[in-house]
Structure 1
Amino acid sequence: MNTNRSLSGKMGRMTESAGPASFGRVEEDGTVYVLTSAGERRVGQVPDADESEALAFFVRRFESLETEVNLLSQRIESGSLSPEEARKSINHLKTSIGEASAVGDLDGLVIRLEALTPQLAAAQEARKAERAAQNEQTRAAKEAMVAEAEKLAAGNDWRGGVNRFRVLLEEWKALPRIDRATDDELWHRFSTARTTYTRRRKAQFASENERREAARRIKEQIIERSRQIADSTDWAQTAAEFRDLMNQWRAAGGAGRDVDDKLWAEFRGLQDQFFDARSAVFNAAETEFRENLAAKQKLLEEAEAAMLPVTDVKVAKDAFREFLASYNQLGKVPREAIRPLEGRVRALEQALRSAEEEEWRRTDPEARKRASDTVEMFSAQIEKLTEQAEAAERRGDRSKAAKTRESIKTYTEWLAQAQKTLDEFSA
């Protein structure tokens, strides 16, 4: 009998029936064989069992292999396995199937495994693309972190910067590595920026400590001087010196909050000691000043009522002299009342001066003569221009007549102003 033709016919029938048991046979002694494309292979022996029981035992082994193939296929499709891991699993399963003591379509399982290879290639390319995209995102993130670190290193945010560097470092550690050269170069820049910032921060704090110590010494010297002048009764000079000391205090800068608070309390107490004593003296004089103010206001009211408006310059001048004599005999007034009082006195003086100037202007013969001459000159010019305009009209020279009439109009306006000035001398 032709063995190949027999196997081929039987494989065809097994494909049609498609059941795993159809790929095996059992001899009378319980020996079980499986049929594959390579031929018939002995898989084991189940003595003292009928044919169906013997085949079922080895079919269950096939079904276990089939389950493994199904699970592997699902894991590959879901992407839960890397292409490298999936390829290793496929090769391992193919080896297991080739040596399996099982009955079923073992060739079909191998074909299914081999059919996964193109899927693996696509998955590998997708994984490469994903890894490249992830590397690009990581590189961009690290470059942004480096740029921020370098900006912080060049800045002066000594409080927020140190916290921000701490956060950036933790974020950096959480990111995956990229290619070694790029990763090392970016880390070098980040680390350099962090070191630069730390050194500058330490130098700044050292400088600030020196500045605080210098400020403390200056403020202690200010306090010592304040003790020396706190009991002075030279109110103006000492108050000015305390103002200078205050300016020096502000210019000295901070000496640290606790030190500043203690020194300020002492300096403030010495200032209060002096200014409280000065206020007590000034308050004693305040009553006298307000009495003087009331008297000066009364004199001003009487002078304003008597002089304003000025109608007789001589009488007004006499009244003003009497007012000033009485006014100047009175003492000091409160500081805030000085300018208003002086303003009212100047107003009286200005009213008197204006009245004198007005009287002189009305009685000045030379000024009156000039005003009269100006009126006569404009009148003569208007009369002359009128004759010229009439002559031009008789000649029929309308253009010349119109221009002359415009000049007459201008001179008439000037004449009105000159006449007004002349009339004021007659008032």
Structure 2
Amino acid sequence: MAENQAATTYGNGKGAGATVGIALLGMGTVGAEVFRLIHENAADFAQRIGGPVEVRGVAVSDTSKPRPGVPAELLTTDAHALVQREDVDVVVEVIGGIDYPRELVLAALNAGKSVVTANKALVAAHADELAAAADAAGVDLFFEAAVAAAIPVVGMLRRSLAGDKIKRISGIVNGTTNFILDAMESTGASYEDALAEATRLGYAEADPTADVEGHDAASKAAILASLGFYTRVTFDDVHCEGISSITAADIAAANQAGYSIKLLAICERLEGEDGREYVNARVHPTLVPKEHPLASVNQSYNAIFVEAEAAGSLMFYGNGAGGNPTASAVLGDVVGAARNKVHGGRAPEDNTYAALPLADFGQVSTRYHIDMDVADRTGVLAAISNVFADAGVSLRTVRQEDRGDVARLIVVTHSAREKDLEDIVARLETLADVHAVNSVIRLDNA
């Protein structure tokens, strides 16, 4: 992610057969699974790496808590001391949060330790700083598990498609919201009932805000856009809307029109009016045509749809969360980082050499599905159509459902700019015959 790639000489590895020391930060669901798998698969890892791996210590907040299978002598509350120990080569961070993990990861990198993290919020907020520290120390910074757990999308962008030009990345990258929307579509449940069921089954946290308001997906969108377009995109650069305002009526209307509603992370190259390329990243509920592969992604599964110049369209699908899938991605990175420690060298560096400008969200163009309650009388449709026409936005379809004196009017536009749509909605809300603009949902342009 460094913009200037200075030539750096990396030392030789420790040598075949050398032991690689691991420091594990965090012992929650993912950390416990990482620890278990390292020990159960030790012989296989040694063969894949070229030398054994050994957990030197595990940083936790409370060493008195029972942790079956974890020797008490490995536990410590002094994470700063652990990451700087001479017998530690690779630090695995699975704590979560931003500020405290940032301190630990920077300390580890500055001490010459490679780092593997599953922390999307940390990477989305501080990627430049972390990458600069890794470059200065000549060590690896891996974060495959930060986006969609075991789905290998980070490695695909960093390596497999490094010779191609990515045009667009869109995907379902949050399992909680996909479970809720899928439950609403398949059972007719309200948002509140679907959220309650997701909470009961453990898909939603006690405080689901980060998921349902799109913040988790926005962190992942920032990472995907940065990797795909070689341009720094942070969490604050991502336009973010959640699903808490989606109603059963919205789901029913989408189904009737041949769409499913999904919370999508969308990252794309755009051509501005000046002919230059721009980058945009956004997260919002989106109407996806039933025939599109993303529409069939159900329950808590994730899927990322990538469109590349030479490779064409690719989709990556799988379990995007949970202890086992996340641990799988973490351990894949551990093997890569440990192998480099044994044999020398580094993984491909991330960089932002392209430094494409970020598009203002108001300049983004898409189609819109607008649901209104209007007076059921002659001339209302003409007045509403004039509002769209005055803004230069044409209507693709218009559907009306009679409800006595008040009708439900659903219009779908052709492609229009966000700023024009904002103006249209503001004008519609001033019309006496428009009783309410119930919802505005974007349609996927792919």
The reply to whether TM is greater than 0.5 is: no
Q: Which has the higher contact order (CA 8 A, sep 6+)?
A: 2
Q: TM-score normalised by the shorter chain: which range applies? A: under 0.3
Task: Using structure 2 for the length normalisation, give the TM-score.
Answer: 0.20
> Highest CA radius of gyration, 1 or 2?
1
Greater share of helix residues, 1 or 2?
A: 1
Task: Using structure 1 for the length normalisation, give the TM-score.
Answer: 0.21
